[in-house]
Structures are given as C-alpha cells and as structure tokens.
Structure 1
Amino acid sequence: MPAGLNKSVAQLLERISTVRRDFLHKLTHRLTCENQALAIEDLNVQGMMAKPKPGAFLPNGASRKRGLSRSLADRRWQSPEYGTEMLRDINAALNIAPRSV
C-alpha cells in the first residue's frame, strides 16, 4: 500500500474513533443529566441466543425460553401464569429497578 494511502486510512480511522467517542460522551452526559439513577443489566447475549442441546437438563423453566432468540422481534411479554401483558422493555425495567443500587 502506498505511504499516502496508509496515512489517509489512518486519518479516517482516527476520525471515526473521535466521532464515536464524542457521541458516547454526549449520550452519557445527557443520560446522567436527565435521570436520577441509571441501572445497567449485564446480559449474557450469547447464552440467550443459544439453543439447548436435545435431552439436556433445563433448570428454571428454561424449556419455555427455548425460542427466546426467535421471539425478540415480538416486543410484548405475557405472563403464562397470570395472563398479564406488557412491553418487554418495561417488564425488564421493573425487574431490574429493585436490584439496582
């Protein structure tokens, strides 16, 4: 690769890095100014998308979670026990809030 092209690519990558850093700084600043508290959930996304192996022991009702990766497009959640229906994000926030510091 010619030296001039290497320099152009390096400058472009630096610009991308700067734009990303600026965006993240502005976003986190806005979030902290607009909210009294922030709670973050550490998700095991790979585990959520993995299909259980046939015949494997599935603790904690995991057999019902088998289709989780396919059903993420469905933004509603319904309790199989009570029939209550709500948006998945609202349900997640209600579950995370009591556990936050």
Structure 2
Amino acid sequence: MRPQAVGVGAASAGPHAEGTGEPAKARAKVAKIHCRIRDRRHDFLHKLSTRIIRENQTVVIEDLNVRNLVGNHRPARAISDASWSQLRRMLEYKAD
C-alpha cells in the first residue's frame, strides 16, 4: 500500500457535518488502509526471516542505535517504517 493512500484516506477523515455518519466511515477507511499496510509488512518480515534462517547457518545481528539513525531526516521514514525489532524477534525464534 502506498503511503499516499493513507493521506487520501486521512484527508477524507476531516471535518464533516454532525449526524451524517461520514466521520465514522472515514475513520473506518483509514483504519482499513493501516491494517493492510500492517499485514503486508508482517507478511514480508515473515518471508524474509524464514529465508534468512533457511539459507544461512549462522546469523549475526548488530545492535543499531536507531535513535541516531532517525536523526538524519532523509532516511528517517524508511528506518522508522522498517520494524527492525520485529524482524529481530522473528529471527531469534526461528533460529531456535
């Protein structure tokens, strides 16, 4: 799901006339988009971690100071969106 899709859905969640039911529909639309993004990320991380564990005998994970990496504004969104800790947890339990 493209990041712009969330923006489009969030824009429709703006002010509406009272009693129309439109704000609830708009919030549901945004929630559905976020759910799809979460599911795709989760699926990708499962596939990636499975592939890493199957193809390698030894896996070494470096502890990164993510706070310092996010300090640089250019890659900050990609780094924040990557779910590093979730990937690490998946690698740890699949390696055991």
Q: Give the structure-2-normalised TM-score.
A: 0.45
Bigger proportion of residues as strand? 1
Which structure ranks higher in relative contact order (CA pairs < 8 Å, sequence separation ≥ 6)? 2
Bigger proportion of residues as helix? 2
Q: Rg bigger for which structure?
A: 1
Q: Give the structure-1-normalised TM-score.
A: 0.43
